[in-house]
Amino acid sequence: MDRVTAAKVFIDVAQSRSFTITAERLDMSRPMVTRYIEAMEDWLKIRLFHRTTRKISLTSAGEACLKDVALWLEQADKMTSLANEGQELSGLIKLTTSMSFGFSQLMPAIQLFMETHPKIRVDIDLEDRAANLTEKSIDLALRIASNPDPSLIGKPIALCESVLVASPAYLDKTQATLGNIQQPQDLAKHGCLGYKNFEQHIWHLAKADQFESVTVDCRLTINEATALLHGTLNGAGVSMQPTYLANQYISDGRLVHVLPDWKPKALNIYALYSSRKHLSPTVRALIDHLEAYFQDHPW
């Protein structure tokens, strides 16, 4: 049996503690996972796992050799990458990102990448909560953050700026009763839309060397940016939106840029992966492609 594949199966089972989960993640049958583990035990002359009907755990010998097997696999992957240098990229990439970014910006970039590399397949999981990359066998996550998860390796590939926006209908409706929004503190009088799961909604804004923090009243909160955007378009109030969503609506007049001189803090868009080890040339190529694409196609 292929020792490289057997080593990958061993490391995955050590993480998942389940032959069934590893079989699903590596797209092989459960009996095949068992055979690879048995082959590893035969080659190493040790028992790697304690197996019961309810639980799988590493033996002390399996724990002791796990790091060495991972290092050996890293070297094997490097040698394979060198041997395959210049060959056409292929394989499956599992990617996760937020619904709003996937909907508005990611698809054209992915389509161009797949046209350039016709042997590559891409599986995209859209969710706004942070996924466990190891548990879900995700190769790459695109996340907007000021400080990404320290357990992950992150490379900034684009900048995410935000703007305050409202529909013309909302501003017309509230002008007589609440007045125009001319200063940050005016926002406290208006209906605002916020992201769910915040006990307090405080918007931090900057204008040159001036800084303002405004506590806003968010009667409507939503846990997803695209829905928040459409609430704003429907006249529900003022919201803070990423420019990658809002710019097209500001351009066509369906949204008004409120307090254009005052800017919320910009965040980085990171390409995140669980470890530098075993990062395939295919995933590396996608990261480089996304960084170049978003630089050439600003929103």
Residue 132, pLDDT above cutoff 90: no
Would you list the DSSP string of 125-169?
A: EE-SSPP-TTTTT-SEEEEEESS--TTSEEEEEEEE-EEEEE-HH
Lowest mean pLDDT among 138-147, 173-182, 226-235: 138-147
Contacts by residues 143-151 (CB-CB < 8 Å, ≥ 24 positions apart): 143/97, 143/98, 143/269, 143/270, 143/272, 144/98, 144/101, 144/242, 144/267, 144/268, 144/269, 144/270, 145/267, 145/268, 145/270, 146/265, 146/267, 146/268, 148/270, 148/272, 149/272, 151/274
Q: What is the pLDDT of residues 79-88, one digit of tens each?
A: 665 555 556 8
Residue 185, pLDDT above cutoff 70: yes
Computed over every residue of the chain, the mean pLDDT equals: 89
Lowest mean pLDDT among 22-26, 122-126, 190-194: 22-26
Find the mean pLDDT for residues 279-284.
Answer: 85
Contact 140, 271 (CB under 8 A): yes
Contact 90, 119 (CB under 8 A): yes
What pTM did the predictor assign? 0.71
Contact 292, 286 (CB under 8 A): no
Q: What is the pLDDT of residues 196-218, one digit of tens each?
A: 866 579 999 999 999 999 999 99
Compute the distance between CA of residue 115 and CA of residue 127 in angstroms, rounded to an integer. 25
Which domains can be identified in the chain, with CATH numbers?
3-83 (1.10.10.10), 91-161+268-296 (3.40.190.10), 162-265 (3.40.190.290)
